[in-house]
Structure 1
Amino acid sequence: MKIIVVSDTHMPKKRRGLPEILKEDLRKNDLIIHAGDFQTFDVYKEFMEYGELIAVVGNVDNADLRALLPQKRIIQKQGLKIGVVHGDGKGKTTEKRALEAFESDEVDLIVFGHSHIPYSRYMKGRLLFNPGSPTDKRKLPYFSHGVLTIEDTWKIEHKFYR
């Protein structure tokens, strides 16, 4: 199973279209996880054209998306429990807010966004993963998204590009 993990697309504000390298991965996916900040409903619909989409709302998403999407979700794929949250809020780091969102839930992997900073680290026995942003790298040298592969075991990694 191949899952594309993305967040913080911020379209059309930061870019008019998705990068080709991301679109190539989206064409070959079994599932897409988006951790918020599509910005508009049209961008959400564009992701849905590529296949099954699991998403949460981000802090810049418009009213249509706020009415449609939850703040957090938990899904299970082939025995892997995945928590998804945007990670915005006050106080603490984005990583700590993401971890705190699932402190009373049993999850193996927490996917979050908001900071636009690619992140992959275990905290309290759970892997926290921020895919970065495919459209708004801020001061970082590369754009990025994630690819989660689930077979006998699972692995998640970043894909970096200019």
Structure 2
Amino acid sequence: MSVQTEMKIGVISDTHIPYAAAELPQRVLEILSGVDAIIHAGDYQRAAVIEMLSALAPFYGVAGNMDAEEVRALVPEKTVVRLAGFSVGILHGWGSPNGLEDRISAAFADERLDVIVYGHSHNPACSRKGNTLLFNPGSPTDRRYARCNSIGILTLGEVVSGKIIEL
């Protein structure tokens, strides 16, 4: 595989604005202002979040189970994007946190992906299944199943890696 250039991608999910918080925390905006692209794995709840993130960097996102029609009109439920020569699948997720990674992987069974970004559980995770990195950034605003709020940074370059940033 030929990699065009290294990219730093800010990864965020489950923002639940304005229900979990009135707005994104300032630290999140500071971190995201320094990335090459932003991926949001769903549950924005308001289209204004998409507009705000799109103003910071090239934006890729999907709708989550809690998103209103105004959000669903702007982003698909599932997508695959090519970034820095890598294939990245994005899907929010559904159901119990138990088995979530298996369901997400199965949803992309017909794709050859380098990374799958997902959300839904609010619990940050970074693991490998075969050659695919599975990456859940957690939630910056709602700790429902997690010990802390978080976002993530994906680095696509010589290697593909994910880093969880606790807020």
TM normalised by structure 1 equals 0.92
2:51 is paired with a residue whose SS is helix
List gaps (5 residues or longer) in structure 2.
Answer: 1-6
Note the alpha carbon deviations across 1:98-128, whole angstroms, 9 max, x for none: 1111100010111000000111111243221
Q: Match for residue 82 of structure 1?
A: 88
* % identical equivalent positions: 39
Note the alpha carbon deviations across 1:56-79, whole angstroms, 9 max, x for none: 010111111112211111111122
Q: Match for residue 132 of structure 1?
A: 138
Which deviates further from its counterpart, 6-15 or 61-70? 61-70
- For 1:28, give the aligned amino acid: G
Q: Match for residue 79 of structure 2?
A: 73
Count of residue correspondences: 161
- For 2:17, give the aligned amino acid: M
- 2:73 and 2:95 map into 1 onto residues whose CA distance is 19
Q: Match for residue 38 of structure 2?
A: 32
List gaps (5 residues or longer) in structure 1.
Answer: none
C-alpha contact 1:4 1:146 (8 A) present in aligned 2: yes
Tell me the C-alpha RMSD between the 2 structures: 1.7
Which deviates further from its counterpart, 87-96 or 120-129? 87-96
Q: Match for residue 45 of structure 1?
A: 51
1:68 is paired with a residue whose SS is coil
Q: Match for residue 156 of structure 2?
A: 150
C-alpha contact 2:97 2:121 (8 A) present in aligned 1: no
- 1:83 and 1:27 map into 2 onto residues whose CA distance is 23
C-alpha contact 1:89 1:97 (8 A) present in aligned 2: no
1:158 is paired with a residue whose SS is strand
- 1:154 and 1:123 map into 2 onto residues whose CA distance is 13
TM normalised by structure 2 equals 0.90
